[in-house]
Structure 1
Amino acid sequence: METSAKPTVQRNFIEIDLSDYERRQDEIVTELMRAATTQGFFYVVNHGISVETIRTMFQASHDFFALPDNVKSKYPIDVSRNAGWEKLAQIRPSTGVADLKESLQLGFHNVDELWPKHEDAPNFKETATDFMHQCNEVSAKLLTCLALGLGFEADFFTRCHDITKSDCLNTLRCLHYHDITGQSFPPEYWRAGAHTDFDTLTLLFQRPGEDGLEVCPGREASTEFAVGDVWSPVSPKEGEIVCNLGDMIMRWSDDVFKSNFHRVRAPKVGEYQGPRYSIAYFNQANKSAIIQGRTRYPDPITSQEFIRQAMHRNYTALQELQARQAEQDPIAAAIPGTA
């Protein structure tokens, strides 16, 4: 049974109902603008991706991560193409240490050899490709409403995220946070350290009972690293999509939209510390797309250059953090993996 047509505030975040999309588009735009300008995070329901489809994708992800590392390492991360498998390798400038996870990132074009082969992960590519197309359909509806809300043409964002183009950057990321039962870690260790997304719009899928995602609202500009101390948990029901806005659309909106910090905490001993799986679909503008605001950011910049600058800011911030850590504890800083 569908939920009421009227979106409501649920578990701290606004719920966007996509049912009867064509008829209710004006209403959806209004509620989406409220979420985009105040929280940057929202739940999406009645989106058209079935619970069975989501479960099938999670099973495919689970089966891949269950493979031995020497098999998964056949598909190593290629940072330049933002695709492939990594483990305990992503270091955030908010922490200075590696996230307690592994992930597999995949795209629509130019990464064929990084897709798990059938003999290693039967039907993985077919399952994931179908899932990506369904995620893209949901994304198109949301991007259309966000464009209308900003006073742009309806296809303003969708034509900048064209998955048929070879410079498409939309990415599917399967994540596995390792079982840490009985283990404790220093406070700087997180399953995913605080960060914002570089992209325009992220669709995130979680499995029931595997919470841990937290959001810190209130970011004022797309170039700031300041992180506040008020965090809200995100706890979607099965089948709901957690969506958040990224740095690209924050700049496009002249910082009217919020791209907020989020993190996944490492549960403590006595809490559920078993494995956690999530799946994210990142909408990143095509490399050649021009990101340009109308007031605060009137200078045009390509999506490719925007990402390069964002990565450089993160790298610089990480170097500064590790330098401070070395000054405070030079012995620990000299030990690999501790800084």
Structure 2
Amino acid sequence: MAQQVKVGDVNGIPIISLAAFIDASNKQAVADAMLESFKTIGFVYLVDHGLPKEKIDGMFDWSKRFFALPMETKMLAPHPPSGTHHRGYSPPGKEKVVQHIYDEKELAKVRSKAPDVKESFEVGREQDAAMTNIWLPDGVFPGFKEACLDFFWACREVELTLLRALSLGLHLEEDFLEKVHTAPDNQLRLLHYPSVRVDQLEKDEVARIGAHSDFGSITMLMQDDVGGLEVENPHNPGEFSPATPVEGAIIVNAGDFLMRWSNDMIKSTIHRVRAPSNKNKDGMTPERYSIPYFCSADYSRTVDCLPGTFSEKNPKKYEPISSGQYIMSRLAATY
């Protein structure tokens, strides 16, 4: 009996089981369902994804313990002043997520608004000479570095599965996208949103993460049970719906680079983090933890529109561009 592929939805975002892809019993059905979700809303919940629950729970435990350290300890691994070197610790209010703004005056105006009230720690692969990791000194928080790197590579295995599924969904060779994601030029980010006043969020006096889209190919998101993530309706800009946590699911969304790469066939959808609607207490939001894993094509790789995404009636909208050139220009604007 064929396994069920779509097992539900949350506010229009499908919940898809990867089981039939992983065990090869119905790869194409899973691939088609994933691509369809990316084409319509740009987001999908994935269950049976192969990343063990105990490993995810363990990383959340490390994250909570890290952010509970004194500020002076966390600042022993400081994020560099440059926005293009996304590694190490960033304290609350340091980063302001912005959208596609290339006018310097407009960018300064946006940056002057309410900062994002969150703190983060960012990790990449150890062998990345262009963007080295920044760790706490040896002995300060034993085991943290090893846990982060172990989780980075566990997420990498899931990424490869998703790239193979997307390739099949696009009716390309199964390893087509994998071949241009070999480095991996990825970023694991631990996020902590401290408790803030709901009225300050509603008045835009503070922000958790403002409305934005992601830069790269795909983002895998693990979130706690607090909620607060909201996804914009691509067909009705300005209308946001909660992407409520689903037990055991990873939320995956397409990034801007994949949208450009697919000649806009795939949607990179605007999303934000606000106050969860049903868990606020005494006018305060609960604190929130999440772990996104941002996946990018090899920075050295120049890509053109994917085969099958353009035609005489639907010509290419974009010039070839390198992943690194694109990502770095976007990263620099956020810091």
Once residues 4 and 232 of structure 1 are traced to their aligned partners in structure 2, the CA distance between those partners, rounded to angstroms, is 29
Q: Which residue of 1 aligns with 2:14?
A: 14
User: Per the alignment, in what secondary structure is the counterpart of residue 288 of structure 1?
Assistant: coil
Q: 1:113: how far off?
A: 5.3
Does the alignment pair 1:232 with 2:241?
A: yes
User: Per the alignment, in what secondary structure is the counterpart of residue 84 of structure 2?
Assistant: helix
Q: Which residue of 2 aligns with 1:199?
A: 216
Once residues 284 and 82 of structure 1 are traced to their aligned partners in structure 2, the CA distance between those partners, rounded to angstroms, is 14
Alignment of 1:57-206 (within 5 A): 57-78=59-80, 79-87=83-91, 88-93=93-98, 96-108=113-125, 109-110=128-129, 114-163=134-183, 168-180=184-196, 184-185=200-201, 186-187=203-204, 189-206=206-223
Q: 1:310: how far off?
A: 3.4
Does the alignment pair 1:42 with 2:44?
A: yes
User: Per the alignment, in what secondary structure is the counterpart of residue 98 of structure 1?
Assistant: coil
Q: 1:156: how far off?
A: 2.0
The gaps in structure 1 that reach 5 residues or longer are 220-226, 319-339
Once residues 128 and 271 of structure 1 are traced to their aligned partners in structure 2, the CA distance between those partners, rounded to angstroms, is 34
Q: Is the 8 A contact 2:32 2:168 kept in 1?
A: no
Once residues 26 and 182 of structure 1 are traced to their aligned partners in structure 2, the CA distance between those partners, rounded to angstroms, is 44
Q: 1:190: how far off?
A: 1.8
Across the aligned residues of Structure 1 and Structure 2, the Cα RMSD in angstroms comes to 2.4
Identity, % of aligned positions: 34
Once residues 182 and 141 of structure 1 are traced to their aligned partners in structure 2, the CA distance between those partners, rounded to angstroms, is 39
Counterpart amino acid of residue 259 in structure 2: M
2:304 to 292, 298, 303: 292
User: Per the alignment, in what secondary structure is the counterpart of residue 179 of structure 2?
Assistant: helix
Once residues 6 and 288 of structure 1 are traced to their aligned partners in structure 2, the CA distance between those partners, rounded to angstroms, is 35
Q: Residues 40-99 of structure 1: CA distance to partner in whole angstroms, max 9, x if unpaired?
A: 011010011121111100011111111111111111113332211112111133663210
Q: 1:311: how far off?
A: 4.8
- Provide the TM-score with structure 1 as the length reference: 0.81
Counterpart amino acid of residue 74 in structure 1: L
Does the alignment pair 1:273 with 2:285?
A: yes
2:263 to 254, 274, 286: 254
Q: 1:309: how far off?
A: 4.0
Counterpart amino acid of residue 86 in structure 2: N
Q: Residues 125-164 of structure 1: CA distance to partner in whole angstroms, max 9, x if unpaired?
A: 221212111111111111111122223322222122213x
Q: 1:120: how far off?
A: 2.3
Counterpart amino acid of residue 234 in structure 1: A
